[in-house]
Amino acid sequence: MNLLFTPFTLAGKELKNRFVFTPTTTSFATDNAEVTAKLADYYRQRAEGGVGTVIMEPGVVDPRGKLTPQSMGIFTEESVAALGGITKICKDNGVAVFIQLAHSGPRGRAAFLGEMPVSPSAIPFFKDEPVYELSKEDIGHVVESFVTAAVRAKQAGYDGVELHAAHGYLLSSFLSPIMNRRTDEYGGSNANRAKIVVDILKGIREKLGNDLILGVRFNGKEYGDQGLDTADAIELAGIFEAAGADVLHVSALEVEVPSLVGVAAIPATSAPGKDHQHGSFLDYARQVKKTVKIPVIAVGKLNHPEVAVPAKVNGDCDLVGLGRSLIADPNWPNKVKQGLLPDQCIYCNSCFKGIARGGLICAVNKELKAK
């Protein structure tokens, strides 16, 4: 385990260890997407807990792209100061800090968006939720909103941004052959479906040069025979690297959710449950890592030393992502370093149910238990 507590240099930034707190929406923001004291304290606890890098939850780049009614936003100038308070908390604890930039796309709901969700094609993610197919002009506006959000992130003191191109949200849907049936330059081949992500990466570089570390989170595998497979993920990784990405975060959208079968276009979650093995998505990171020169973050039940340590030793990844482990116990890294047993996530996924109902909860963490 000591190897995972050694420093690592990412695009010129020294990280104090190899652990990354991966982004998960909390729904602790206001209905106007503003930072709250509860949200700031949530990140303070995890920054103090010993993790080397925090990738904050999705900061939506447009109010029409909220993931939940209380999604955190980075689409106004007023958001810069409040988010800057969180970056200061992280940096005061020697923690590198990123924000994930996101747009819900077809996974949004008109009930809280106030209008129809948008999608690369006229294909609903949820069969009961009609979507609006983006025009080329609309796509240009989306790209601009991501680039502008990255500029705000730099102003707020972030070390980097991560583009959320996973889990069925807007950028992910462009990458997906299930969701993207366009016949123009934004559809068809992997290169075409990745064009919107490439445009955003290049747009940020044009604005900020190398002043901001750029990451992309994407699916190493999608549910079903028609979704992205490992060969697609490898090709996409090369495209993102060539476009200027500094780090790749390999997740997946392949864990079947029976209640979504027949209800959603991709009836799956990105969260392996208690019956899934540790390191469920590690092979996808491994395959990507073999083909790129930039660092790779792996995720998916990697909190067990017998999985996390070999993953690093064997070169499967450079950085180990911890999500639910740090929700259950924000002091997980400090405790492990001291030889103590952290409170263990039981992978019940009650956290996600809470997010959808107005605020993150946890069956293990007493401070996050449902009232």
43 is a catalytic site residue: no
Q: 3-state class of 163 per DSSP?
A: strand
Bridge partners, residue 130, by sequence: none
Which value, in Å, is the radius of gyration of the alpha carbons in the chain? 19
- Token pair belonging to 343: 């409170």
Contact 229, 246 (CB under 8 A): no
CA nearest neighbour of 62 among 148, 134, 135:
148
CA nearest neighbour of 317 among 97, 13, 4:
4
Active-site annotation holder among 42, 43, 158, 169: 169
Angle, vertex CA 195, rays to CA 132 and CA 102, nearest 5: 60
- Token pair belonging to 318: 């450079």
Active centre residues (catalytic): 169
